[in-house]
Amino acid sequence: MRVPMSLVLITISALVISFAEASDPSPLQDFCVAIGDLKNGVFVNGKFCKDPKQAKAEDFFYSGLNKAGNTTNRVKSNVTTVNVDQIPGLNTLGISLVRIDYAPYGQNPPHTHPRATEILVLVEGTLYVGFVSSNQDNNRLFAKVLNPGDVFVFPIGMIHFQVNIGKIPAVAFAGLSSQNAGVITIADTVFGSTPPINPDILAQAFQLDVNVVKDLEAKFKN
């Protein structure tokens, strides 16, 4: 018996839709290790929920983004995060917010958010921003100079940065598509891990003298 091609296509489509709907939920933290004994289980993927009847307005409120962050540090910038840890009501909603302050010539150094796309709007100052695509896309740089009112998007997982190229402080706000986007700052992660990565490995990977790597690891040591 020959099965009609239309029926085959319908069946394949149904399976694809079924698999898509049955996919695992996106992670909301770096990892969530399974445990056999439920009595010893502490964490869930995200946060435990309170009884909805006990929710109040304060669970959905945060005050303070009108205040500039302290940019007296080695990168001359400050990120004020408003995620599920600051607003419990964000749990399961898949969104969060940050304010970023930049001193003149300060930067938010190359980093990535493993769980979120970011959309940034510049409020004050002038920024040079960009992200680098994956190896499969030949690591192309997408960059723009932003002025107040300009918006730029950093796709999920892409290494990106912002630099204040002006002589005055800059301020930006950004929304992220996760209640806990996570952040991996490239230099801090590679050269400041605990325990440190073997300098010989990094020397070969970055084509640097091993003594240069050791110096960098000393600078970024936690």
Q: Which residue has the higher pLDDT, 29 or 8?
A: 29
Helix (H, G, I), strand (E, B) or coil at 161: strand
Residue 65: its pLDDT value, please?
A: 95
pLDDT in tens, 124-182: 999 999 999 999 999 999 999 999 999 999 999 999 999 999 999 999 999 999 999 99
pLDDT band at 23 (very low <50, low <70, confident <90, very high): low
d(CA 161, CA 78): 13
The lowest-confidence range among 17-21, 90-94, 104-108 is 17-21
Residue 21: its pLDDT value, please?
A: 52
Residue 196: its pLDDT value, please?
A: 96
User: Looking at residues 79-91, what average pLDDT do you find?
Assistant: 93
Burial status of residue 164 (CB atoms within 10 A of its CB: 0-12, 13-18, 19 or more) = buried
> What is the pTM assigned to this prediction?
0.84
pLDDT in tens, 181-203: 999 999 999 999 999 999 999 99
Whether residue 118 is annotated as binding a ligand: the answer is: yes
d(CA 114, CA 30): 8
Dihedral sign, CA of 98, 192, 28, 154?
Answer: positive
β-pairing, 127-132 vs 151-154, is unpaired
Is 146 within 8 Å of 137 (Cβ atoms)? no
One-letter amino acid identity for 205? A
Q: DSSP secondary-structure letter at 166?
A: S
The average confidence (pLDDT) of the chain is 88
Confidence check: pLDDT of 16 > 60: no
Confidence check: pLDDT of 122 > 90: yes
Confidence check: pLDDT of 117 > 80: yes
pLDDT band at 28 (very low <50, low <70, confident <90, very high): confident
Confidence check: pLDDT of 11 > 70: no
Confidence check: pLDDT of 47 > 90: no
Whether residue 70 is annotated as binding a ligand: the answer is: no
Give CA torsion, residues 192, 195, 70, 115, to 10 deg: 90
User: Looking at residues 18-35, what average pLDDT do you find?
Assistant: 62
Whether residue 113 is annotated as binding a ligand: the answer is: yes
